[in-house]
Amino acid sequence: MDYIKGLEFYQDSRETAVTLGKFDGLHRGHQKLVNRVKKLKNKHRVRSVVFAFDMLPLYEKLGLPREGIMSNEERKMRLHGTVDVFLECPFVESISSMTAEAFIKDVLVGILHAKYIVVGTDFRFGHGKRGDVHMLAEYAGAYGYELFVEEKEMYGDREISSTYIKEELRKGNMKAVNEMLGYPYTVNGTVEYGRQLGRRLGFPTINVQPAKEKLLPPNGVYIDCVEIDGIWYNGIGNVGVKPTVTDENRVLIESYLFDYDGNAYEKDVEIQIYEFRRPEQKFASVEEMKEHVNADIAYGKEYFRYKRRGE
């Protein structure tokens, strides 16, 4: 997969099947669009392209933190191997001020040579969000592309969206989050050196700091699975600032893995979060915390007696 950041760097004259949007989370609805693009590629021998807006410049301009389901890096990793091109387009002034008509003519047709365009029913684009599926359909004949409009994937009686997933993530409702994503909520990061206190207490942990632009579930203890060197390990971990042992305000994911005894420091790992167990607590002593963590570990082992990763 070619990864291109910035429209100006896309310089391929081959025809494409392209899907467009913000694609935060690459949830089940997004996957439907990506799958359609893959099918069109196989059928018509065109290049398959995911065109994703990078909303970071907008958040920076507004002075707001970006709280995404995934970081840009995680999105890139997740798309790897699915399409020919992942084009990330920073949402800068020149893009946000472009009219919808110009976006179709200059970007979709002019730069991307789109032969097939795939979007959801509610896709909006262009200055003032004036562009929609009706406008895309209107210009299809003139510009020689075919439009595919996919029905929205549902979760219960509500449409799946990044917004809906973030609402549930903020509540720690991992079941809903994971079902809407169609894969477990994932954090990628590098294992850092901790203070080795866990090891002394009998539960060594891997410590990972998530990307700063990532929305995490509420601080608390969660069932998780961690991939190290291509092998998955079951575990239970804490998302938070570990107030019992430090006054630092740095949010980490710390996980105790049941069957791992290697040295994971500085390795890149993937953490999947499954189920909320309890909120993070400031215990009166490390001994009291140890009792609770031991109970958490017993709970986690019991959990995996009946379930395998991903179930």
Ligand X SMILES: Nc1ncnc2c1ncn2[C@@H]1O[C@H](COP(=O)(O)OP(=O)(O)OP(=O)(O)O)[C@@H](O)[C@H]1O
Which residue lies nearer to ligand X by CB, 22 or 292?
A: 22
Site for ligand X in 214-273 (CB under 6 A): none
Contacts of 267 (CB under 8 A, 6+ apart): 190, 191, 228, 229
Using only C-alpha atoms, the chain has a radius of gyration, in whole angstroms, of 22
Six token digits for residue 147: 């439009």
271 binds, among ligand FMN, ligand X, none (CB under 5 to 8 A by kind): none
104 binds ligand X (CB under 6 A): no
State which of residues 132, 159, 167, 268 lies at the interface with ligand X (CB under 6 A). Answer: 159
CA-closest candidate to residue 32, choices 16, 45, 50: 50
HSE-up of 236 (CA within 13 Å, CB side)? Answer: 21
Site for ligand X in 172-191 (CB under 6 A): none
Query: 269 with 208: CB under 8 angstroms?
Result: yes
278 binds ligand X (CB under 6 A): no
Which residue lies nearer to ligand X by CB, 20 or 221?
A: 20
Whole-angstrom CA distances from 197 to 23, 200, 203, 244, 290 are 39, 5, 9, 12, 11
78 binds, among ligand FMN, ligand X, none (CB under 5 to 8 A by kind): none
Q: How far is the CB of 301 from ligand FMN (least distance, A)?
A: 11
Q: How far is the CB of 64 from ligand FMN (least distance, A)?
A: 29
Query: 107 with 6: CB under 8 angstroms?
Result: no
How far is residue 291's CA from residue 302's CA, in Å, rounded to a whole number?
17
Q: How far is the CB of 184 from ligand FMN (least distance, A)?
A: 18
User: Which residues contact ligand FMN by CB under 6 A?
Assistant: 194-198, 203, 205, 207, 221, 236-238, 242-245, 254, 256, 280-281, 289, 293, 296
34 binds, among ligand X, ligand FMN, none (CB under 5 to 8 A by kind): none
